[in-house]
Each structure stands twice: as C-alpha cells, then as structure tokens.
Chains A and B, each alone.
Chain A
C-alpha cells in the first residue's frame, strides 16, 4: 500500500495479480525458439563453444526475467503504481539484458559469419560512446511525461517502451561483458571504469530527478482510484529510489565482475 495523508492505493491480493499476456508470451517463446535455431545452425558450422550450456541457461534466464517482469504482480500493477513500473524496468535493463548478452555472446563473438553491413552496424552501436548514448537517449526520452503517458495508455507503445529498454541495455552491457578480443569488447580497465561511471551517472541523475521532484511527473498516476497528489508523489519518490539504489548496486557488481586482473590494450 502506498499511503500518505489517509489516501492510499490499495494492493490487497497483490501477489495474486498475474497478467498472462498471451501475445507477449508467444513472442518470448518465439525469441527463445529463434535462439535455439541460431544455436543449432551455429553448431552445424562446427562452433563447439557455441553450444555451451551456460549460454543457453543465461539466455533462457533472461527470457524468464522478461516474462516475470511483465506478467507478475510487478508488471500487472505498473499502470497503478509508478514504483512497480520502475521495478519492472529495473528487471528489464539490469537483469534480463545482461543475462541475454551472456547468452548471445558465444553466437556473436566471432563476427566473421555476419554480412559486412551487419558487422559494421554491430561495431558502430557497440562503440562505448554510442552505446552509452543509446541507453541515455532511450531511457530519458521514454521518461518524458508525454512519452511515458502514451506508454501507460497504449499497449503497443508500452510494449515498444519495454523493448527499447531491453535493446538499449543489451547494447549497453555488450562492451562490458564482451572479452577484449570480441567485437565491441572494451580493451582496458580504464575504459571499463569510465564506461561504468558514465552509465551509472546518467541513470542515477534521472533517478534522482524523479525521486526528489516536488510534484508528480505523470498525471496518469494521479487518476488511479484512491490516489492523491501526496500518495502519487510518495510513489514517485519510491520509484526514483528503486532506480537509484538497486542501480548503484548493479553497477557495483558490474565493476567487480567486468574489471579484469590483466587488461589487454590492443
């Protein structure tokens, strides 16, 4: 229950509110199926390491996290509570996206099979400055009140919003997770540290602006039954905090996991 001044958004039976969105689940199954197909095709081409079970487990876990974020009570309540919506985004950006990168990495690590145009595109988007810019633009643009409002009232826009986060952070995590020899992989610890700082700074700033705002950013949450301006603002503060603190912990873990003992510059 998000309460302030006597008014509240009731969340009785919260844990039972699952929203089984069939189109989404079918889409996720299709993605998983596509992953299997590419994996099988890659295996036929004799890439032994492409068949690693851990990669499959990572990718499947990423898909499951996406499904959980959207159909669980977290996603089912994202139109009632901004904090739930933010938690949903956290799961997509900071849990699902890196898991999917880990899953896809063995398939894309060697870019020699890609058409030249696709290869050049991968190189371009995984450049550190491009990747941070994409993550920043997507996340900030979708948090603009008009865009966010559209996502809350239009299911298709909502799905596109989530897809944008997933893709943007898939691209963001790639250079960090990729080995230096892999296409797009960062080659020095200095680059990794700077990249992590840049990534945490942009999301931290947005989170702080949201958390410390004097008034609610999104009118939609003012019109939820039982909500008041105060409860919507408290919910927004919680949403900002849910982006700020878990985000910091994710970036801290990312630093521990991706900064290497021996770096390779060239």
Chain B
C-alpha cells in the first residue's frame, strides 16, 4: 500500500485516536441521517403530499440546515484526524473533549429549534433572531449558545490539530511546505508533509478563523441580550455570521477532499505524493476560503463594493486551484490503475463528480449578474446540496468505508456496491430537480409551494427515497462491521 494511504495498524499506538475519530465519523453520519429525514419531510411538504404548518416547516428547515453543516463537518474532521494520526501524534483526550463540546452545541440547536421554536434559518441573520414573532429571545439565545459550543469544539479541535502538525514537522511553515512552495519546488531540504497533512494544516487555520468569527459575531449578541449594548450593527453581524457559517460549510468539502488524498491511493495502488501544484493550490485556500462568503451579500446595498468584488474573486479563486489539482490528480491516479471498484471507491468517484458539478453551480451563483437573478431560487439549494450530498458526504462515506475495511476482518455485503451506485443515482436526480427548479425561478425557503411547483418536489421525493434506501443499506452494512473495527483499534490487553 502506498505510504500516503497508510492507516496506522491497531497496535501502532494510535488506537485511542482512531477510536475517537471513528466516534466523530459515526456521530456525524448518524446525525446526517436524521437531518436527511428532516430534509425529506420538507420536500414531502413542498410536494403537497404531507402538509406541515409553516411554523414547523421553518423550525425543521433551520435545524436541517444548521444540523447538516455541523454533522458533515464533524464526520469530515473525524476522518482527517484518523488520516493524519498515522504520522502525527494527536491527543485522544483533546479529540474526545472537543467532540463532547461540539455535540453539546448540536444539542442546544436541537432544543432551540424543536423545543424553543427558533425558526430563523441556519444563518440566524441579525436582527431577525432578536425580534422573532413566533419564538422568544430565549430560544434565539439557545441557538446562539449552540453555535458558540460548536465553535468552541471546532476551535479546540483545530488548535490541537495545528499544534500537533507543527510539532510533527518542526514548525508550522514546514507543515505548510512553504520553503518548497516559495522556491517553486526546488528546495526540498525540509521533509515534505503528506498532502493530507498539508490539507489538515490548511483547514485547521481556516477552522480557527471561522470559530473566531463565530465568537466575534456571538459575543456582542449575548451582550445585547443582557443589555450591555443597545444594538449591534446589522452589516457587521451578517458579515461575521457568514464568515463563520459559510466557512464551516466550505470546510466540510475541503476537509473531505483531503480524505481523497489519504485513501484513494489504497485503491489505485499508486502513491499521491506532495507536488508543487498541490502545495500551491492548498496554501491558496487559506486566504481564499475566508473571502468567498461575501457572495451571499451581493443583495446588500450597504456592503462595500470592495468586499463584493473580493467575494466574486474569492469565489472563483477558491474553487479553481484546489479543484483542478485535486480532480485532475485523482483522475490521473485512477486512470488505468486497475482500481478495484467497491463501495468506497464508488463513493470517491461520486464525490469527485459531485464536487465538479456543485462547484460549477457555485461559480455560476457567485457571478454577480447571475446571482442577482438566481440567489433566492432553488438554484442555490441545488449547488450546495450537490457538493454536500454528492461531494462532502460521499467523500466522508468513502473514507468511513475505507477505515472499516482496513480495521474490520468482515467483508462488505454484496449489495453494498449497488447501494453506493444507487446513492449516486438518487443524489444526482435529487439535485438535478433542484437545479431545474432554480432555473424555473422556484424560490427557496418557501414553506408553501404553488401547485405548479409541486411536481418538481414530488419527483425529488422519489430520488430522496432512493438516497434513504441506499443509506439505510450502507449504514446497516457498516454498522454490522463497526463492532469489529472498533475492537481492532483497542490496544493489546495489558497496555494502558
């Protein structure tokens, strides 16, 4: 197996970290299933097949949106911890504490929406949460508390990851391969990090920035709730909440892309070493991922033009380098490799496909003239569902399948490959309906759909059912093998 695809053997000393990583992935993906069911409920409602009240629709929508972002990211960072743990010493304690804090944040969000009735959308755009007519300030505060705990959990994880990587490579600049990068690949005196380690360092930096932005957003709002300040500038709040939430959403896809570097070589039997384009592309992500959120503020006339332009430039620039390098690199790795097609490799291929099409949808949406027409339509839902369902989630499923394959002696069930393809068919149909709906100007975030819009949602429901069936099968298969995989991570008896 190529060095870049190693997963430490069970008695290699990182069993505790692997166990924590598995817990992240399993908790994240179980949460994805629950949030997916809420998504199905929303589409069934929009199809007119089962009517839920608009009050409940928006609660469900808020929980679905915030929960999905948090869940996919949780599974993704668990995967990256497992991937880097073979060569980087991580603290299982830090990982478990971060997980508990993160899940407590998720719990707050569930309570704020389902019990407190908060229904202001995952973006919690200020000042709407303060003045909700169908929810109390208390439920808005519970939502903020949820975000604060999630931000704290993410911050702890990212700080720990970054410190561990810097220690492992003798400094942060070495973990980021800067000497190699700025010499245009000529200076190779430093031992180069594996691509997944570089990506882990990049996402840790952006994760810290996102969590900090979350705190900058949330602290004034808590201060306002306790009457320490009278009001908060709405544009400031909107910029920071999107810098926090949008970056978290972006992190999911980029973290899971890192998992492709970690595991795809195991299936193609080809190494994926660090190259200059890989180093350049992923280092560029550090500033660019923090700029592109601004494309959600094109409709805000008060937003300075500079930030609007940076949003457009950032949106294009963030996607292209890593996108091209990763997609071309992965396709080159797969081409004529005699790759064994199993559920993991199928999910990797689907993820690449989803990332391409989701990215194209995102690029179109981030183009200002297009955005002004399309941004409040289902086109936006189409692009982020494409790179979530068919990109990030597919990559996360692929990596979890890979880890279970590595650790469990039990083979996958025969139907799992078919289930993975079925996931692709369901996912493609589901997002295609979103794209067509957006192109037909069907608005997003509408609880009640006009009769002429409902056929789209009905078709979508059929595809969501396919996704649900495939995920049920995959979950059952992975669940039955998880026990032996978990045991395989345990240290030999007597060690502690």
Using CB atoms and an 8 Å cutoff, list the residues of chain A in contact with chain B. 188-190, 192-193, 196-197, 200-201, 204-205, 208-209, 211-212, 237, 240-241, 244-245, 248, 251-252, 255-256, 259-266
Contact = CB atoms under 8 A, between A and B. Distances in A.
Given A204-B111, A212-B117, A248-B108, A261 B145 contact: no
Contacts of B221: none
B23 interface: yes
Of A196, A211, A240, most buried by chain B (CB within 10 Å of CB) is A211
Contact of A264 (B108, B149, B496): B496
A204 B108 contact: yes
Nearest to B496: A264
B99 A208 contact: no
B234 interface: no
Contacts of B139: 212
A189 B491 contact: no
Contact of B491 (A190, A200, A265): A265
Given A204-B107, A204-B108, A197 B100 contact: yes
Contact of A252 (B104, B111, B141): B104
Nearest to A265: B490
A245 B226 CA distance: 14
Given A196-B100, A211-B138, A189 B16 contact: yes
Given A189-B20, A200-B107, 16 more contacts: A189-B92, A189-B96, A190-B20, A190-B96, A197-B103, A197-B104, A197-B107, A208-B111, A208-B116, A211-B116, A212-B136, A237-B136, A255-B100, A260-B93, A262-B16, A265-B491
A241 B491 contact: no
B437 to A, nearest CB: 34
B94 to A, nearest CB: 9
A14 B141 CA distance: 28
Contacts of B116: 208, 211-212
7 contacts: A190-B23, A208-B116, A212-B116, A240-B138, A241-B141, A262-B496, A263-B496
B286 to A, nearest CB: 30
B303 interface: no
A193 B16 contact: no
B145 A193 contact: no
Given A193-B23, A241-B138, A265-B490, A248 B149 contact: yes
Contact of A255 (B101, B112, B142): B101
Nearest to A260: B93
A4 to B, nearest CB: 13
A252 B99 CA distance: 11
Task: Summarize A's interface: helix, strand, loop or mixed.
Answer: helix
Contacts of A237: 136, 138
Contact of B96 (A192, A201, A265): A192
Contacts of A205: 111, 115
Of A201, A248, A260, most buried by chain B (CB within 10 Å of CB) is A248
A189 B141 CA distance: 30
A245 B141 CA distance: 10
A261 B160 CA distance: 14
Nearest to A209: B115
A248 B103 CA distance: 11
A190 B100 CA distance: 10
Interface string B7-30: 000000000100110010000000
A244 B141 CA distance: 11
Interface in B141-184: 141-142, 145, 149
A194 B117 CA distance: 27
Contacts of B100: 193, 196-197, 251-252, 255, 259
Nearest to A237: B138
A186 to B, nearest CB: 12
A252 B20 CA distance: 17
Contacts of B142: 208, 211, 244
A209 B139 CA distance: 11
Contacts of A192: 96
B370 interface: no
Given A263-B16, A263-B92, A193 B107 contact: no
B436 interface: no
Nearest to A187: B496
A204 B104 CA distance: 9
Contact of B104 (A188, A251, A261): A251
Interface in B94-125: 96-97, 99-101, 103-104, 107-108, 111-112, 115-117
Given A189-B20, A212-B136, A255-B97, A200 B104 contact: yes
A245 B145 contact: yes
Nearest to A196: B100
Contacts of B115: 205, 208-209, 212
Contacts of A193: 23, 96, 99-100
A242 B93 CA distance: 29
A255 B108 CA distance: 17
A121 to B, nearest CB: 28
Contacts of B112: 208
A261 B177 CA distance: 30
Contacts of B493: 266
A193 B496 CA distance: 18
Nearest to B112: A208
Interface in B462-496: 490-491, 493, 496
A254 B495 CA distance: 25
Contacts of B103: 197
A67 to B, nearest CB: 31
Contacts of B99: 193
B441 interface: no
Q: Considering the complex of A and B, which 8 residue pairs feature the smallest CB-CB distances, nearest first?
A: A208-B111, A255-B100, A264-B496, A208-B115, A212-B116, A189-B96, A259-B96, A261-B93
